[in-house]
Amino acid sequence: MLTVGVDLAASPLQTAACWIKWAREKAEAYKFRGSLDDEELIESFQGVDKVGLDVPFGWPDEFVQALAAYQNGPRWPDCPRRSLRFRATDQFVQERTRRWPLSVSSDRIAVPAMRAARLFSELGQRGLPVSREETGSLVEVYPAAALSVWGFSASGYKGAKGRQARRNLLAAIEAATGRWLHLDGEVHDACESSDDVLDALPAALVARAATQGLCEPPPEDIVSRAKTEGWIALPKAGSLDLLPSQASSM
């Protein structure tokens, strides 16, 4: 099995991917790439069993409906501000991890989400439609939340000032997964140098968790919202050590 994690930014320059190969109870993070444009991303999805993409797959339903109503009205609907800012999956993740994902309707993450929407449209035109739920070959991931579930301290590792924090985080990941995960030397160095690559690494791990049934499914009452808003593949507690197994026991 082959999984790839992608930290998708608004600009190709800050977009990075990491590949993990899974075989015989072992795994190897053997390759990374940076500065990926859309065509290179589409190429990177070829031959991969699951892709973990760190970007929102949709917008809050209430936000989309409010924009449409205001554009055609103009009348802004009377609804809670939180429902305009956050999707059902964002609220689910916050309840599980005490971390709010960035708001795709009111934070700068909206720009990478627009890039993702264009990318998904292109994939659909090529006969590779993307499901916004966890059921397709591409799944939405939130690396910091996944790392938190797995017991890692996922804060302060961004940017030039976060280099030591990246080293500490990477060392903790290697200590926890050393029995089964090998990091190629270049991948290791890239994770220390770039938070984009470091985010791509757990994204690839979460992609594996999604294939093993080790992520939280959307509750029954919000399944329909997940189809339009997207659903973050949040790994279950205790799932990290089960990733190299051939089948889930959870």
Task: Write out pLDDT tens, residues 157-188.
Answer: 999 999 999 999 999 999 999 999 999 999 99
- pLDDT at residue number 248: 54
Per-residue pLDDT averaged across 127-152, rounded? 93
Q: How far is 95 from 103, CA to CA, in rounded Å? A: 15
Residue 77 lies in a domain: no
This prediction has a pTM of 0.96
75 inside domain: no
Q: Is residue 192 part of a domain?
A: yes
Structural domain boundaries, residue 185 = 2-58+86-242
Nearest to 169, CA basis, from 187, 195, 149: 195
pLDDT of residue 24: 85
At residue 72, the pLDDT reads: 85
The total number of structural domains that make up the chain: 1
**pLDDT score, position 250:** 56
Q: What is the pLDDT of residues 38-68, one digit of tens each?
A: 999 999 998 999 999 999 999 999 999 999 9
pLDDT value at position 73? 85
Q: What confidence score (pLDDT) does residue 99 get?
A: 95
94 within domain boundaries: yes
Is residue 74 situated within a structural domain? no
Judge whether 249 lies within some domain.
no
Residue 78 lies in a domain: no
Q: How far is CA 126 from CA 42, 60, 89, 120, 122, in A?
A: 10, 27, 28, 10, 6
Residue 178 has a pLDDT of 96
120 vs 231: CA distance, rounded Å: 15
Question: Cβ atoms within 10 A of the Cβ of 60, count?
Answer: 27
CB-based contact 198:29 (threshold 8 Å):
no
pLDDT classification of 216: cutoffs 50, 70, 90: very high
Categorize the per-residue pLDDT at 156 as very low, low, confident or very high, splitting at 50, 70 and 90: very high
Distance of CA 148 to the CA centre of its chain: 14
**99 assigned to some structural domain:** yes
Asked if the model's pLDDT at residue 37 lies above 80, the reply is yes
- The answer to whether the CB of 167 falls within 8 A of the CB of 189 is no
Mean pLDDT of the chain: 95
**218-225 average pLDDT score:** 95
